[in-house]
Structure formats: structure tokens, C-alpha cells
Amino acid sequence: MPHIDIELALVFLLALLLCMCLYMRWRYPVPDYPPMATHADDPLMQEAKARARAGLDCFRALLGEQYENALVKLRFVSSAGRVEYVWAEVLDVLGPDELGIRLVTPPVTHSGRLARLYRCRFDELVDWQVRDRAGGLHGGYTERALFAVARRDGLQLPDSLLQRERAYVDGDSS
């Protein structure tokens, strides 16, 4: 009988470890690509941020339609005092100027506990992106600027990012 108890305990322990790994993966997702370092004053990024701000009315209109998902990019100051820009999923439109969001890209330089659910105002948004029901992307100006920065700096985009770039349907490529 003790032999069966040990096997059962091992199975239970392995199941518990698997659950912990899955929980950590869900709680702290790892981005497909590491963040690309850019300078805050890069003209391509400055233009992209300005275009995102100018397109907020379009973003609001898209949120009023049926869509697959919507993301916003926010300025985040980490526990290390570093400024990072993180993407968050729009969960709900809470009012004319406020969104309920969930962080989807963890900050790189932050340590310690970090809540994932937040509220943000439209005037806090650095960028926005909406995937429509047909799979087309709208907005995402800073992402498109990063594609342009990578090319300018002699980097080759992987096929998955080239496909993503082609998914933009609003014709505003950076």
C-alpha cells in the first residue's frame, strides 16, 4: 500500500506543478518578441504618437462597432524608475473618456507585484489598435513606426511581423 500512496503523491505533485506553471504563464505572459529599444525623440515615433492622438475619434468610433479585440498603449513607470510603454487589452468602455483595461505586455524593468486590471483615460493613451471582425488592423501607429525603425536600422522583420504589417487596412502606414 505505501507504494501506491507514493505514486499518487507524485502524480498530485506533478499536477500541482503543471497548474502553477500554467498560472504563471497566464498571469505573466511573455511577449513573442523582446521590446525594441528606441529613442524617445525618434522622429518616426513622435509622428506615430501624434497620429495616434489625432485618430482618437476613429478609435472611439471603432469601439462602438463589432470588433475582434482592441488594445491601447500606455506610458508606464516601473519600480526601477524607467519609462516603458505597455499594451493593454480593452475590456470595457466605462464612459466617454474612460476604459477598463488588462495589461497584456509585462514591463521589462519592473519588479514586484503588479496588478493587471486598470482604468485609464483616453488622454493617457499613447497608441491604440483595433482588430475588426474581418481580421484587419486599425491604428497601431507606434507598431508601424517600429517596423520602419527596424528597416531604417538595417534589421529584417520576421515573416510573422511582415504578415502582421500587411493586416493594417486603414492605409496609414508609417
Q: Break the chain into its structural domains and give their ranges.
A: 1-30, 43-166
**Distance separating alpha carbons of residues 50 and 41, to the nearest angstrom:** 12
- Cβ-Cβ contacts under 8 Å for 160 (sequence gap 6 or more): 32
Q: Which helix (H) or strand (E) is 138 found in, with range?
A: strand 137-139
Average pLDDT of span 111-135: 93
**Distance separating alpha carbons of residues 64 and 29, to the nearest angstrom:** 28
Of 62 and 23, more confident: 62
> In percent, how much of the chain has pLDDT > 70?
82
Average pLDDT of span 149-154: 91
pLDDT at 4: 64
Contact 150, 36 (CB under 8 A): yes
**What is the Rg, in whole angstroms, of the alpha carbon atoms belonging to the chain?**
20
Say which DSSP state 114 is in.
-
pLDDT at 137: 97
What's the grid cell of residue 40? 524617445
Supply the pTM of this predicted model: 0.75
Say which DSSP state 124 is in.
G
Q: Does residue 44 surpass a pLDDT of 80?
A: yes
Task: Dump the DSSP string for 7-40.
Answer: HHHHHHHHHHHHHHHHHHHHHSPPPSSPPPP--T
pLDDT in tens, 50-98: 999 999 999 999 999 999 999 999 999 888 888 888 999 999 999 999 9
Q: Which helix (H) or strand (E) is 74 found in, with range?
A: strand 67-77
